[in-house]
Amino acid sequence: MDDFRLYDLVDLSAVEKMAESHYQSTGMPIGIIDAFDNSILVGVGWQDICLNFHRSNPESAKRCHASDNFIKQNLKVGEACKYKCKNGLWDIGIPISVKSVHLATLFIGQFFYEGEAPGTDFFIEQANRFGYDCDEYLKALERVPVFKHEKVEYIIDYDKALATFLMDLAEKSLSKKIADNELHKAQVYLSNVINFMPSLLIGVDSDEKITQWNRKAELTTGLSSADVVSKPLRAVFPSLKKKLPDIKDVLKNKKVIKYNNTILIDKNTTRYVDITVFPIVDEYTNGAVIRIDDVTERVRMEKMMLQSEKMLSIGGIAAGMAHEINNPLAGMMQSANVMKIRLEGVDIPANLSAAKELGISMENISAFMEKRGIFRMLAAIQESGLRAAKIVSSMLGFARKSEPRFSSHYPNELIDKVLELAATDYDLKKQYDFKYIEIIKEYEDDLPMLPCEGGEIQQVLLNIFRNGAQAMQRAKTKCPRIHLRVCREDAGRMIRIEIEDNGPGMDEEIRSKVFDPFFTTKPVGIGTGLGLSVSYFIITVNHNGKMEVVSEPGKGANFIICLPIEREKSQINLQGKEVDVID
């Protein structure tokens, strides 16, 4: 507070009353003049000869200003400065200073000492010189007070004490203002700390009535602090009703209580929060502070990691099973092929020799096999074996996991592989036969290769195919159809993949939450609510792409994925390790 003034620190109306009493008891004119702009703060008994004559005329006023300047330049704290102005009257100044800053001057004066007043001729000469009305000027002169030296000294002693009193009062007032200002700054700082914290902070008293409600609480609930202070917490924030302990028990035990990963459902939105209750018990306070941190993203990441680990485990099992199936499958296919060759080969010497030894012709054997459809069955065995081998190969490719590495893939080939996998997926087939869904492909010609982590993109596509198939199955969609479109976008810098079904679609509320973690429209036990959330993470974070859904009730859903064709030379994976990208 460097710009304080006397009127900021002292009640001048009270000082004005003191000055009036001073004048009535002594007859001595008194005033207090601001040291910064020379404005009159207090003035009582000032003489007409000064106000209406000396100071109102520009020439004679110069003498008054000379008196003012002399006193101002020679002021010393605790002392009185006397000066007889050239207009013939005495002025006396006493400084009022606070913390070495001259704030104002207490003036007494505009009087004559007894026996020392100039003669009337002096003032008649002045009237003529400065053009005053001589009669009025002399009448004003007659009203000028006259004091003995001794009385003036008594008045000066009193006014020095008055100045000291005003300085002490002003200094105490200034100290209080400085303390109040520091307290206000501390309160503002503390309020900012509380309000700008990302946590939701609620203060309550021992009766669970709200005493503090920070900005995060306002944004979360839509209720201002003014609306909720002094109201019961459980009535204002009903979703916390069953999540909080009894505050009285917390205060009694004086222990911090924390609940991790607590589920809060607000407006059909599920959030995970950490709730910590801190007791505050001292001689001034008896209450608690409740801190609520939204940890939904952290829980989502933990769930994703668990899901990823589970997928890795399942992938390992699937890979092992695929390897185990591969060996007998190869034997079966090889044996079927050998059988076909031996039964069809009528000119093979070994066949002819064996048939002659048994008295049978190869022509009759071949005719019998043809008649009984054996050759057709062997061909079917070979065809089924090839299909099974292809499925095993797809399982191995999808299940094989390693450090995420980007490589180049043709987008249409990625999609076709996932379609083959979806058609044979057990869980999917158990609920809905994917082969009965009409697949319409609309691929742009000469698409460039796409740098991506193939397994992750396959996971995303498979999840969308699954969701679409299950939605159409639950809605009993007639002639279910999935329309696939792949083309360039953004001046050829992106590959756009559209997966559109003709299922039941979704309204705006569901569409806005479809990528939220843990949100699902499936029955309990069927969906985790993580599939599309993980897919969104893979596309937007791992691949720096975009993912959205366009849908209306009864008009199907269109999932749109955009992936960049060119990527930076390095990509940071989830563990923070730098991995190479193959363009």
Tell me, what's the pLDDT at 104?
94
Span 163-186, mean pLDDT?
A: 94
Report pTM.
Answer: 0.51
SS3 543: coil
Sign of the C-alpha dihedral, residues 397, 398, 402, 403? positive
pLDDT > 50? residue 577: no
What is the C-alpha separation between 123 and 130, in angstroms, rounded?
A: 10
Which of the four pLDDT bands, split at 50, 70 and 90, describes residue 170?
A: very high
Which of the four pLDDT bands, split at 50, 70 and 90, describes residue 517?
A: low
Which pLDDT tens digit goes with each residue over 238-262?
877 777 777 777 878 888 888 888 8
Domain boundaries, given as residue ranges, for the chain: 6-178, 197-294, 298-401, 403-583
**Bridging pattern class, strands 481-489 and 438-443:** parallel
Tell me, what's the pLDDT at 264?
76
- Higher-pLDDT residue of 508 and 80 is 80
- Higher-pLDDT residue of 332 and 521 is 332
The Cα-based distances of 507 to 265, 512, 549, 552, 557 in angstroms read 20, 9, 11, 6, 10
CB atoms within 10 A of CB 473: 18
Average pLDDT of the residues of the chain: 83
Q: Do domains 197-294 and 403-583 have the same CATH topology?
A: no
Which of the four pLDDT bands, split at 50, 70 and 90, describes residue 117?
A: confident
Arch. (CATH architecture) of 403-583: 2-Layer Sandwich (3.30)
DSSP 222: S
pLDDT > 90? residue 148: yes
| Phi, psi (rounded to 5 degrees) for 125 | -60, -40
> Helical H runs in 408-450?
411-424, 426-431
Span 396-419, mean pLDDT?
A: 75
pLDDT > 60? residue 1: no
Which amino acid is it at 336? A
Span 297-313, mean pLDDT?
A: 67
* CA Rg value for the chain: 49
Tell me, what's the pLDDT at 318?
62
pLDDT > 90? residue 536: no
Name the range with the highest mean pLDDT among 132-141, 244-253, 427-436, 523-532: 132-141
Which pLDDT tens digit goes with each residue over 44-53?
998 999 989 9
Q: Which of 213, 153, 455 is nearest to 318 (CA)?
A: 455
What is the C-alpha separation between 306 and 518, in angstroms, rounded?
A: 14
What is the percent of the chain where pLDDT is above 90? Answer: 39
pLDDT > 60? residue 403: no
- Higher-pLDDT residue of 582 and 471 is 471
Q: 261: alpha, beta or left, given left = phi > 0 and alpha = psi -120 to 50?
A: left
Long-range contacts of 571-577 (CB under 8 A, 24+ apart): 571/404, 571/406, 571/542, 573/403, 573/404, 573/542, 574/404, 574/542, 577/403
Length, in residues, of the chain: 583
What is the C-alpha separation between 196 and 214, in angstroms, rounded?
A: 8
Where in 36-100 does DSSP place strands (E)? 40-44, 81-84, 90-98
> Treating both helix axes as pointing N-terminal to C-terminal, what angle do 374-399 and 362-371 enclose, rounded to 10 degrees?
70
pLDDT > 90? residue 511: no
CB atoms within 10 A of CB 387: 12
Sign of the C-alpha dihedral, residues 228, 230, 233, 235? negative
* Top-level class of domain 6-178: alpha beta
Range in 155-164, 277-286, 496-505, 521-530 with the lowest mean pLDDT: 521-530
Which amino acid is it at 508? E
* Top-level class of domain 197-294: alpha beta
Where in 174-281 does DSSP place strands (E)? 200-205, 210-213, 257-266, 269-281
Tell me, what's the pLDDT at 253?
82
> Helical H runs in 80-221?
120-130, 134-142, 149-195, 215-221
> Treating both helix axes as pointing N-terminal to C-terminal, what angle do 120-130 and 134-142 enclose, rounded to 10 degrees?
140
pLDDT > 70? residue 582: no
Sign of the C-alpha dihedral, residues 189, 191, 192, 198? positive
Residue reference for tokens 């792409």: 545
Tell me, what's the pLDDT at 454?
86
DSSP 205: E
Please, what is the end-to-end C-alpha distance for the chain in angstroms?
A: 65
Q: How far is CA 119 from the centre of its chain?
A: 84
Which amino acid is it at 262? T
- Higher-pLDDT residue of 201 and 421 is 201
H or E element that contains 68? helix 58-73
Tell me, what's the pLDDT at 138?
93
Whether 263 and 243 have beta carbons less than 8 Å apart is answered as no
- Higher-pLDDT residue of 272 and 580 is 272
Span 77-94, mean pLDDT?
A: 92
Tell me, what's the pLDDT at 573?
38
Sign of the C-alpha dihedral, residues 319, 328, 373, 386? positive
pLDDT > 70? residue 548: yes
Q: b/e per residue, 424-451, with b = 16+ CB within 10 A?
A: beeebeeebebeebebeeebeeebeebb
Tell me, what's the pLDDT at 313?
58
Span 388-393, mean pLDDT?
A: 71
Tell me, what's the pLDDT at 429?
45
pLDDT > 80? residue 315: no
Name the range with the highest mean pLDDT among 125-134, 375-384, 434-443, 501-510: 125-134
CB atoms within 10 A of CB 513: 19
